[in-house]
Structure 1
Amino acid sequence: MADTLRKRINGREITASDPIFDEIHRLQEENEERLVHLNNTFHTKQKINQILSAIIGAKVDNTVTVMLPFHTDFGKHITLGKHVFINRNAMFVDLGGITLEDHVLIGPRVNLLTVNHLIEPTNRRGLFTKPIHIKKNAWIGAAATILPGVAIGENSVVAAGAIVTKDVPDNVIVVGSPAKITKMIEN
């Protein structure tokens, strides 16, 4: 059901009066209790991954490590590869879809944002979504922000505090706001 919803919403404007807006909020509400439980009780790594599996609606591999607290506003549109590490206080605004391939590192306080509000003031409560894709072995530094529709290339590094507004190619380091390539990574 979540994949069907993602296909129906990505790339189009959703106003607050659109019936799908209510469906999104209903699904979001279903995860609230799981998120509160995840972040407000001690859990083993195995239990964290079990709860996270329920939140995203897919099995989380036992090689994935998520440091708590972990935040998501939706939860059902997150895809995690193997050997993923997510540090504390990461925020996944995942309605548009967030994919982390194998060996991705997410620093503390990283924001992955797939949702934007509409510009027109009368429709400002409405939404527009685009997916984020972080490819194999990429590293997103502390407090970096990735905006809707951005792909981060394989082996690339997003420096701490960077704001990424455009796709990042493979094997580079990006720094700043907006993020710009500062170095190539030799393979």
Structure 2
Amino acid sequence: MSVQYARCIEVGRGFYLGDRSRVLALSLDGIRIGDRVTIRENAWIQCASSPYNPGQSLSIGEGTYIGPYSVIGVGGPIEIGPRCQFGAGVTLIAENHDVTEAGVSASEVTRRGISIGSGTWIGHRATVLDGVTLGSNCVVGAGAVVTKSFPDGSTLVGVPARRIDRGATDGV
């Protein structure tokens, strides 16, 4: 495992970081990890593109589990509530490149952040993009791409993610 800028990280009791994980913690407001948080093997947390371009902050609530091969890109602030569960390969990206008539800008970005409420479950290989707020106790299906915010108790599937009834049996 590789941890750079460890001085920017505050961890609670019982924290576990899996083998071959990489954490670049350089950020304006640091990383705060609650008690009993597990981040599994091969995870990648990147808070800065360079020493001259740090991200905002990352907060992970107590009892949260983040599966192997997950990627957390901290441009804007990311807040993950307590008791969340992330499957393998989940991606959170709190930054977006500006698009102009000249194309995509490599240097101009927006950083609105991501907020995930307590008790939310995110399935394997799902992606949550910049500017999204998920309420508490949401369920995000495997492979979904969440591009907008949803309230407490939402069940989300698809690309882009859409809300379905929890009892729905429409082939998803």
Q: Hey, what does 1:93 align to over in structure 2? A: 73
Residues of 1 paired with 2:105 and 2:47: CA distance? Answer: 19
Q: Hey, what does 1:145 align to over in structure 2? A: 127
Per the normalisation by structure 1, the TM-score is 0.68
Residues of 2 paired with 1:34 and 1:154: CA distance? Answer: 30
Matches within 5 A, 1:77-116: 77-116=57-96
> Which amino acid in the other structure matches residue 48 of structure 1?
L
Higher alpha-carbon deviation: 60-69 or 134-143: 60-69
Higher alpha-carbon deviation: 98-107 or 61-70: 61-70
Asked whether the 8 Å contact 1:53–1:59 carries over to 2, the reply is no
Per the normalisation by structure 2, the TM-score is 0.73
1:181 positional shift: 1.0
For residues 102-122 of structure 1, give each alpha carbon's deviation from its aligned partner in whole angstroms, at most 9, with x where no partner exists: 101111111101111110136
Which of 102, 105, 109 is residue 124 of structure 1 equivalent to? 105
Structure 1: give runs of 5+ residues left out of the alignment: 1-32, 38-44
| Poorly superposed stretches of 4+, deviation over 6 Å | 51-54
SS of residue matched to 1:108: coil
Give the helix-richer structure, 1 or 2: 1
For residues 85-126 of structure 1, give each alpha carbon's deviation from its aligned partner in whole angstroms, at most 9, with x where no partner exists: 000111111110110011011111111011111101366112
For residues 146-167 of structure 1, give each alpha carbon's deviation from its aligned partner in whole angstroms, at most 9, with x where no partner exists: 1110011111100000011111
> Which amino acid in the other structure matches residue 17 of structure 2?
I
Q: Hey, what does 2:41 align to over in structure 1? A: 68
Matches within 5 A, 1:13-32: none
Structure 2: give runs of 5+ residues left out of the alignment: 7-13, 49-55, 168-172
1:169 positional shift: 1.3
Residues of 1 paired with 2:139 and 2:131: CA distance? Answer: 18
SS of residue matched to 2:131: coil
Q: Aligned pair in 2 of structure 1 residues 140, 119: CA closer, same or farther (>3 Å)?
A: same
1:46 positional shift: 4.7
Residues of 1 paired with 2:86 and 2:135: CA distance? Answer: 14
Which of 133, 157, 164 is residue 146 of structure 2 equivalent to? 164
Asked whether the 8 Å contact 1:52–1:60 carries over to 2, the reply is no
Residues of 2 paired with 1:182 and 1:46: CA distance? Answer: 34
Report the RMSD for the aligned CA atoms in angstroms. Answer: 2.8
1:60 positional shift: 2.5
In percent, how many aligned pairs have the same letter?
Answer: 26
Relative contact order higher in (CA < 8 Å, ≥ 6 apart): 1
Give the strand-richer structure, 1 or 2: 2
Asked whether the 8 Å contact 1:72–1:91 carries over to 2, the reply is yes
